[in-house]
A and B are shown apart, each in its own frame.
Chain A
């Protein structure tokens, strides 16, 4: 299926470009599909394709020597992964795996370089994307350093609450633990605490945020 101009227009990489520019960029973009659990990038290996998630959700994570997983980012539709190795020419800092069926749009490193040379505003967009990535990492370190587990769980629930039906990730308690740097048991305990406090309600496979304001206060966000 041909990559839609509408999709490219909404990508931070190509923000502000006119239709003619997007049309010429489109020829470099190809589509790739993957199933749940498929590995899309391996930590420590070189990567020469920048991927944008068109539909579905991808997790970017690292695994320790003893098999412990730390999720760095959940990549949602319209967001990209593999940016750093593609732009630095180095290896993947993290692995990436499809959390369900996904459709990706890819651009090869050499083609991205052509696009950036031909259209300097793209370079500014890239800087903004990377700056946001730095902000996300600083926030992650801040959360690990200063927030207790229940507060981290509350913040994560607010961040990943599904506002657009079907677009949010579905997360296991193990994945939640891997995102906020704790053990699965601690996530289970925190969810129970939040439920007892009346801020959330557990409904079979749904976590319903019942009191958004109280959850925000618990998460320390305004």
Chain B
């Protein structure tokens, strides 16, 4: 659970779409900028990345081969 969605706060325009779509409530707005407030609630559904019109959130995947991954 160390991995977190990558948030570029400079790109965030505070529209709140990601907060609205995040049903587990992992994201919140502070001073009109998105923040990951409850990382343990994030299920990596990537919907926040999908709805962000400004490309401020990304949820990258590591690709591994079973049995070769540590």
Contact = CB atoms under 8 A, between A and B. Distances in A.
Given A36-B6, A37-B8, A162 B58 contact: no
B63 A172 contact: no
A207 B64 contact: yes
Given A172-B49, A174-B49, A204-B43, A209 B66 contact: yes
B38 interface: no
Interface residues of A, number: 26
B43 A161 contact: no
Q: How large is the interface on B (under 10, 10 to 19, 20 to 34, 35 or more residues)?
A: 20 to 34
B6 to A, nearest CB: 7
A174 B57 CA distance: 11
Contacts of B44: 204-205
Nearest to A37: B8
B21 to A, nearest CB: 15
Interface in A63-80: none
Interface stretch (A24-32, A116-124, A163-171): A163-171
A79 to B, nearest CB: 18
Nearest to B42: A204
A221 B50 CA distance: 31
Given A201-B66, A206-B63, 10 more contacts: A37-B8, A161-B65, A168-B62, A172-B59, A172-B61, A174-B49, A175-B60, A188-B46, A207-B64, A212-B66
